[in-house]
Structure 1
Amino acid sequence: MWSRTARSVQNIIYSVIGQSVALLLSFILRIVFVRTLSNEYLGVDSLFTSLVTVLSLAELGVGSAINFSLYQPLAKKNVNRIKSLMHLYKKAYTIIGLAVLIIGFCMVPFIQNIGNVKSSVPNLKFLFSLFVVNSSISYFYSYKKSLIVADQYRYITVIYTYVSFALMSIVQGIVLIIFKQYILYLVTMIIFTFLQNLFLSKKADKMYPFLKDTNIDPVDKMTTRLIVRNAYAMSLHKIGGVIVNSMDSVIISAFAGIKQVGRYSNYLLITNALNLVFSQIFTAIIASVGNLGAEVNRRHTKEVFNTVFFAGYWLVSFSSCCLFVLFNPFISIWIGKGYVFNTFVVAVIVLNFYIYQIRRPVLTFRDALGIYWYDRYVPIIESGLNLVISIFLARQIGVSGALLGTIISSLLTNVWIEPLMLYRHGLKSKTIQYYCKLAGYSVVAVIHIAVVQLLVLTVTAKIRNTIISFVVMLLATIVFFNVVFVAFFFKSHDFKLVWKLMANIFITVKNKLVKG
Structure 2
Amino acid sequence: MAAESRTAKSLKNSVVALGFYFVNLILQFFSRKIFLDHLGAEVLGLNTTATNLLQFLNLAELGIGAAIACTLYKPLFDRDTAAINEIVSLQGWMYRRIAWVVIAGAAVLMCFFPWIFEKMPLPLWYAYASFGALLVSALLSYFVNYKQIVLSADQKEYRIQYSYKASMLAKTLCQIVAIKYFDDGYVWWLALEVGFAVVASVALNAVIRRTYPYLRTDLSAGKALSRKYPDVITKIKQLFFHKVAGFALTQTSPIIIYAYASLTLVALYGNYMLIVLGITSLMGAVFNGMNAGVGNLVAEGNKERIMSVFEELFSVRFLLSCTVCFGVYMLTPAFITLWIGPEYVLDDLTLGLMVATLYIGLTRTTVEAYLNAYGLFSDIWAPVVEASINIGMSVLLGWFFGLHGILAGVLLSLLIVVFCWKPYFLFRRGLKENLWIYVRMYAKHILLVSAVSAVMYLILGVLPFDPTAGIGAWLMYGVLVIGIFFSLLFGALYIAIKGMRIFVRRCQRIIR
Q: TM-score when scaled to structure 1?
A: 0.82
Taking the aligned partners of 2:113 and 2:460, their CA distance within structure 1 comes to: 45
Counterpart in 1 of 2:20?
A: 18
Quick one: which of 287, 295, 300 aligns to 2:300? 295
Task: Assess if the C-alpha contact under 8 Å between 2:448 and 2:492 holds in 1.
Answer: no
Task: Assess if the C-alpha contact under 8 Å between 2:90 and 2:225 holds in 1.
Answer: no
- 1:60 and 2:59 matched: no
Counterpart in 2 of 1:248?
A: 253
Q: Secondary structure at the match of 2:229?
A: helix
**Structure 2 counterparts to residues 478-497 of structure 1, below 5 A:** 478-494=482-498, 497=499
Classify 1:220/1:307 alpha carbon distance in 2 versus 1 (closer, same or farther; 3 Å): same
Counterpart in 1 of 2:366?
A: 361
Taking the aligned partners of 1:274 and 1:193, their CA distance within structure 2 comes to: 27
Taking the aligned partners of 2:401 and 2:254, their CA distance within structure 1 comes to: 15
Task: Assess if the C-alpha contact under 8 Å between 2:391 and 2:409 holds in 1.
Answer: yes
Q: Secondary structure at the match of 2:431?
A: coil
Uncovered stretches (5+) of structure 1, i.e. residues with no partner: 512-516
Task: Assess if the C-alpha contact under 8 Å between 1:43 and 1:259 holds in 2.
Answer: no
Q: Secondary structure at the match of 1:413?
A: helix
Counterpart in 2 of 1:424?
A: 428
Range with bigger deviation, 443-452 or 313-322:
443-452
Counterpart in 2 of 1:92?
A: 94
Classify 1:401/1:63 alpha carbon distance in 2 versus 1 (closer, same or farther; 3 Å): same
Counterpart in 2 of 1:313?
A: 318
Shift in Å, 1:193: 4.0
Counterpart in 2 of 1:155?
A: 158
Classify 1:32/1:498 alpha carbon distance in 2 versus 1 (closer, same or farther; 3 Å): farther
- 1:467 and 2:475 matched: no
Shift in Å, 1:211: 3.5
Shift in Å, 1:269: 4.3
Task: Assess if the C-alpha contact under 8 Å between 2:76 and 2:154 holds in 1.
Answer: yes
- The residue type equivalent to 1:234 in the other structure is L
Counterpart in 1 of 2:71?
A: 69
Task: Assess if the C-alpha contact under 8 Å between 2:58 and 2:102 holds in 1.
Answer: yes
Task: Assess if the C-alpha contact under 8 Å between 1:456 and 1:473 holds in 2.
Answer: no
Counterpart in 1 of 2:419?
A: 415
Range with bigger deviation, 190-199 or 251-260:
251-260
Task: Assess if the C-alpha contact under 8 Å between 1:40 and 1:258 holds in 2.
Answer: no
Q: Secondary structure at the match of 2:143?
A: coil
- The residue type equivalent to 1:171 in the other structure is C
Task: Assess if the C-alpha contact under 8 Å between 2:81 and 2:215 holds in 1.
Answer: no
Taking the aligned partners of 2:114 and 2:339, their CA distance within structure 1 comes to: 30
- The residue type equivalent to 2:101 in the other structure is A
Classify 1:478/1:405 alpha carbon distance in 2 versus 1 (closer, same or farther; 3 Å): same
**Structure 2 counterparts to residues 12-411 of structure 1, below 5 A:** 12-32=14-34, 52-104=54-106, 106-107=108-109, 126=128, 134-175=137-178, 177=180, 188-212=192-216, 223-252=228-257, 266-334=271-339, 341-373=346-378, 375-393=379-397, 402-411=406-415
Taking the aligned partners of 1:451 and 1:120, their CA distance within structure 2 comes to: 57
Taking the aligned partners of 2:271 and 2:392, their CA distance within structure 1 comes to: 26
Task: Assess if the C-alpha contact under 8 Å between 2:164 and 2:200 holds in 1.
Answer: yes
| 1:248-287 deviations in Å (ceiling 9; x for gaps) | 3454456658887766555444433433343344332222
- The residue type equivalent to 1:64 in the other structure is A
- The residue type equivalent to 1:96 in the other structure is I
Shift in Å, 1:412: 2.2
Range with bigger deviation, 105-114 or 336-345:
105-114
Task: Assess if the C-alpha contact under 8 Å between 1:46 and 1:261 holds in 2.
Answer: no
Shift in Å, 1:129: 6.2
- The residue type equivalent to 1:6 in the other structure is A
Counterpart in 2 of 1:514?
A: none
Classify 1:464/1:249 alpha carbon distance in 2 versus 1 (closer, same or farther; 3 Å): closer
Q: Secondary structure at the match of 2:463?
A: helix
Taking the aligned partners of 1:96 and 1:506, their CA distance within structure 2 comes to: 46
- The residue type equivalent to 2:72 in the other structure is L
Q: Secondary structure at the match of 1:459?
A: coil
Counterpart in 1 of 2:11?
A: 9
Shift in Å, 1:505: 2.0
Shift in Å, 1:246: 4.3
Task: Assess if the C-alpha contact under 8 Å between 1:233 and 1:372 holds in 2.
Answer: yes
Task: Assess if the C-alpha contact under 8 Å between 2:338 and 2:468 holds in 1.
Answer: no
Classify 1:358/1:464 alpha carbon distance in 2 versus 1 (closer, same or farther; 3 Å): closer
Taking the aligned partners of 2:232 and 2:74, their CA distance within structure 1 comes to: 14
Q: Secondary structure at the match of 1:491?
A: helix
| 1:116-151 deviations in Å (ceiling 9; x for gaps) | 999878869555666555544433334211011112
Shift in Å, 1:223: 4.3
Q: Secondary structure at the match of 1:288?
A: helix
Shift in Å, 1:34: 6.0
Taking the aligned partners of 2:54 and 2:33, their CA distance within structure 1 comes to: 24
Shift in Å, 1:229: 1.2
Calculate percent identity across the aligned residue pairs. 25
Structure whose alpha-carbon radius of gyration is higher: 2
Taking the aligned partners of 1:130 and 1:341, their CA distance within structure 2 comes to: 39
Range with bigger deviation, 118-127 or 191-200:
118-127
Classify 1:164/1:117 alpha carbon distance in 2 versus 1 (closer, same or farther; 3 Å): farther
| 1:347-388 deviations in Å (ceiling 9; x for gaps) | 333222111111100000111122222x22211221222233
Task: Assess if the C-alpha contact under 8 Å between 2:370 and 2:426 holds in 1.
Answer: yes
Task: Assess if the C-alpha contact under 8 Å between 1:71 and 1:151 holds in 2.
Answer: yes
Taking the aligned partners of 1:390 and 1:118, their CA distance within structure 2 comes to: 32
Range with bigger deviation, 174-183 or 139-148:
174-183
Range with bigger deviation, 85-94 or 267-276:
267-276
Task: Assess if the C-alpha contact under 8 Å between 2:449 and 2:489 holds in 1.
Answer: no
Classify 1:490/1:505 alpha carbon distance in 2 versus 1 (closer, same or farther; 3 Å): closer
Q: TM-score when scaled to structure 2?
A: 0.83
Taking the aligned partners of 2:370 and 2:112, their CA distance within structure 1 comes to: 40
Counterpart in 2 of 1:503?
A: 505
Matched residue count: 506
Uncovered stretches (5+) of structure 2, i.e. residues with no partner: none
Range with bigger deviation, 378-387 or 300-309:
378-387
- The residue type equivalent to 2:332 in the other structure is F
Taking the aligned partners of 1:191 and 1:304, their CA distance within structure 2 comes to: 43
